[in-house]
Amino acid sequence: WTDILNNGYGSDRFYDTAYDSAGNIVAAGYVTGPPQHGLNGYVAKFDPTGKQILWSDQLDSGANPSPANTNDQFFGVAVDSKDRVLVTGVTSSPQRIVTRQYSTTGTLRWERFFAEEMQNSGYDVAVDTQDNVYVAGTVFTSNAIQGQWVLLKYDSAGTLQPGFQVYFDASAFGNINLRDVPSRLTVDKDGNVIVVGVVGVSDISTTTSEDTDLEVRKYNSAGTLLWHDTYGGAAHLLDY
């Protein structure tokens, strides 16, 4: 089956999907809102046949004439052992990593924000066997470090856990084109967290070149790095 969602104001997009124990499908992304509302984060739960949206919700920072202040999106979605729905993404005004947990019927149970100076966004979310919630995103901590990975861990009630936030910066070149950006994460049966994404690389004489390599990192449940690996293709080219 297929289904088409049209919010009626412009481009709409799903980035990620998950399913629950009953076979219901959850999708997360954004819809274009009415004038001056820009992009609104959007999550919807479909029944297994795709014929019915069981519930949906939006993240809307409100009306603002500046497009940069109306960019709300969900990039990742997961479902825990109790069929609760987790989403993560970015909210504007101010720009922060946002993580939400919904009940099986779509009631918002909790919402958490995390931010450094700017350029904050959550890109994926996963849960372990204890229903702890892991979020991978990127933050801007200073002019010298204009984009680095961050790994967050919440318990099922939304409490940020000790030992987290875990940061990773591969390229403190002071250039926004050399950001380190995680894209996906998962949790294995032993509670270890695997994060994949890209890191910005450049030699000292070409700090403005946009050159990224692939990165995979494995952490234990306490946030300790167990191992990592980096792969790069030809120099000064983008690897994703």
User: What pLDDT, in 10s, does the model give residues 51-86?
Assistant: 899 999 999 987 777 766 678 999 999 999 999 999
Say whether pLDDT at 185 is over 50.
Answer: yes
Q: CA-CA distance, 130 to 93, in Å (whole number)?
A: 33
pLDDT of residue 174: 45
Structure tokens at 152: 């967050």
Say whether pLDDT at 151 is over 70.
Answer: yes
Q: What is the mean pLDDT of the chain?
A: 87
pLDDT bracket for residue 119 (50, 70, 90): confident
Task: Find, among 210, 124, 126, 218, the residue nearest to 168 by Cα.
Answer: 218
Say whether pLDDT at 177 is over 70.
Answer: no
H or E stretch covering 229: strand 225-231
User: Can you give the pTM of this predicted structure?
Assistant: 0.90
Task: Find, among 48, 44, 43, 105, the residue nearest to 73 by Cα.
Answer: 43
pLDDT of residue 171: 58
CA-CA-CA-CA dihedral for 123, 67, 91, 14, to nearest 10: -50
pLDDT of residue 89: 97
Phi, psi at 140, each rounded to 5°: -115, 110
